[in-house]
Amino acid sequence: MRRALTEAAQTYRLDVRRVDTVNGILEAYSHAYDSPVIVSFSKANGVQVWFLYEGRCDNCSQSQECLRILKEEAEERGIKLSEDDLRLKPTELGRRIFSIITRRLL
């Protein structure tokens, strides 16, 4: 798992900050986007790279797919999403989910 997470980080030229192979999370930073990044691994979705910046979800054709994947990430990790959470844009929901996950890692 460590290899898969770090290879994804290398592909995107990310500065790795922390790797948690037990939970399948790599925390990193993207200088190109001046943004924190999460690389996650889940059984349902494999390796996913999440740039935690303000995206342009309103006009994105992938918005619903991102929401589906994020919901699966939360479910697999035992994170309960509220009705308010489910109304968030994917970038906001991603920040919410991954902030919960990274707090658990401390």
pLDDT in tens, 39-60: 999 999 999 999 988 778 888 9
At residue 65, does pLDDT exceed 60? yes
AA letter at 47: V
Q: How far apart are CA 77 and CA 80, in angstroms?
A: 9
pLDDT in tens, 13-44: 999 999 999 889 999 999 999 999 999 999 99
pLDDT at 3: 94
Q: How far apart are CA 15 and CA 26, in angstroms?
A: 10
Query: Domain range spanning residue 84?
Result: 2-105
Domain count, the chain: 1
Question: φ and ψ at 56, to 5 degrees?
Answer: -115, 60
Q: Is 38 helix (H, G, I), strand (E, B) or coil?
A: strand
